[in-house]
Amino acid sequence: MALSNIIMEMEAVRSNEVAMADLSATFFETETFNKMSNRIVRVMEAREANLCRGQFEQKGACLIGPPGSGKSRMVKEAIRRFECAAAATGGREYGHEIVSAIVPGKAGVKETCRAVLNKLDYPTKGERTEEYLIGCLKTQLEHRRIAGLHLDEVQDAGRYANDDTMQGFVKRFRNLMQDGPWPVCLILTSTCEGRELINFDKTLARRLRPLEIRPMTVNSDGLNLRQSAENLVVAAGLSHGGLLDEPAFMPLFMHAAAYRFGVAVEMVIEAIGEALFERDDEVNLDHFAEAYFVRTDCDEEMNPFISDCWQGIDSTVVLDRNVAEKKEPRKRSRRK
pLDDT digits (tens, 9 = 90+) for 15-67: 888 988 999 999 999 999 999 999 999 999 999 999 999 999 999 999 999 88
pLDDT in tens, 212-245: 999 999 999 999 999 999 999 999 999 999 999 9
Quote the CA–CA distance of 231 and 140 in Å, as a whole number: 42
Q: Are residues 87 and 202 located together in one domain of the fold?
A: yes
Q: Which residues pair with 152 in a beta bridge?
A: 102
Q: Are residues 166 and 181 located together in one domain of the fold?
A: yes
What is the average per-residue pLDDT within 285-296? 94
Q: 61 in helix, strand or coil? A: strand
- Does the pLDDT at position 164 exceed 70? no
- Does the pLDDT at position 195 exceed 90? no
Q: Are residues 147 and 279 located together in one domain of the fold?
A: no
Number of domains in the chain: 2
What is the average per-residue pLDDT within 110-126? 90
- Does the pLDDT at position 322 exceed 70? no
Contacts of 118 (CB under 8 A, 6+ apart): 101, 124
Q: Are residues 201 and 145 located together in one domain of the fold?
A: yes
Measured from the Cβ of residue 279, the count of other Cβ atoms closer than 10 Å reads 8
Q: Among the three residues 151, 177, 212, which one is the final residue of a domain in this structure? A: 212
Out of 18-32, 150-164, 265-279, 302-316, pick the least confident. 150-164
Residue 160: pLDDT band by 50, 70, 90 thresholds? low
What is the average per-residue pLDDT within 259-286? 94
Helix axes of 163-174 and 109-119: crossing angle, nearest 10 degrees: 30
Residue 198: pLDDT band by 50, 70, 90 thresholds? confident
CA 292 from centre of chain: 21
Residue 168: pLDDT band by 50, 70, 90 thresholds? confident
| Residue 278 within a domain | yes
| Residue 326 within a domain | no
Helix axes of 218-235 and 3-24: crossing angle, nearest 10 degrees: 140
Residue 159: pLDDT band by 50, 70, 90 thresholds? low
Q: Are residues 168 and 262 located together in one domain of the fold?
A: no
- Does the pLDDT at position 326 exceed 70? no
Q: Are residues 154 and 231 located together in one domain of the fold?
A: no
Q: Are residues 308 and 229 located together in one domain of the fold?
A: yes
Contacts of 41 (CB under 8 A, 6+ apart): 82
User: Residue 317 has what pLDDT?
Assistant: 83
Longest dimension (CA), the chain: 74
Which CATH number do you get for residue 162? 3.40.50.300
Residue 9: pLDDT band by 50, 70, 90 thresholds? confident
User: Residue 332 has what pLDDT?
Assistant: 39
Q: Are residues 112 and 155 located together in one domain of the fold?
A: yes
- Does the pLDDT at position 320 exceed 90? no
Quote the CA–CA distance of 21 and 273 in Å, as a whole number: 10
User: b/e for 93-114, b at 16 or more Cβ within 10 A?
Assistant: ebbbbbbbbbbeeebbbbbbbb
- Does the pLDDT at position 107 exceed 80? no
- Give the burial class of 42: count Cβ atoms within 10 A of its Cβ; 0-12 exposed, 13-18 middle, 19 or more buried: middle
Of 277, 258, 254, 66, which Cα lies nearest the Cα of 155?
Answer: 66
Q: Are residues 49 and 175 located together in one domain of the fold?
A: yes
Q: Is the peptide bond before 183 cis (omega within 30 degrees of 0)?
A: no
Q: Which residue has the higher pLDDT, 320 or 243?
A: 243
| Residue 331 within a domain | no
Domain assignment of residue 292, given as a range = 217-320
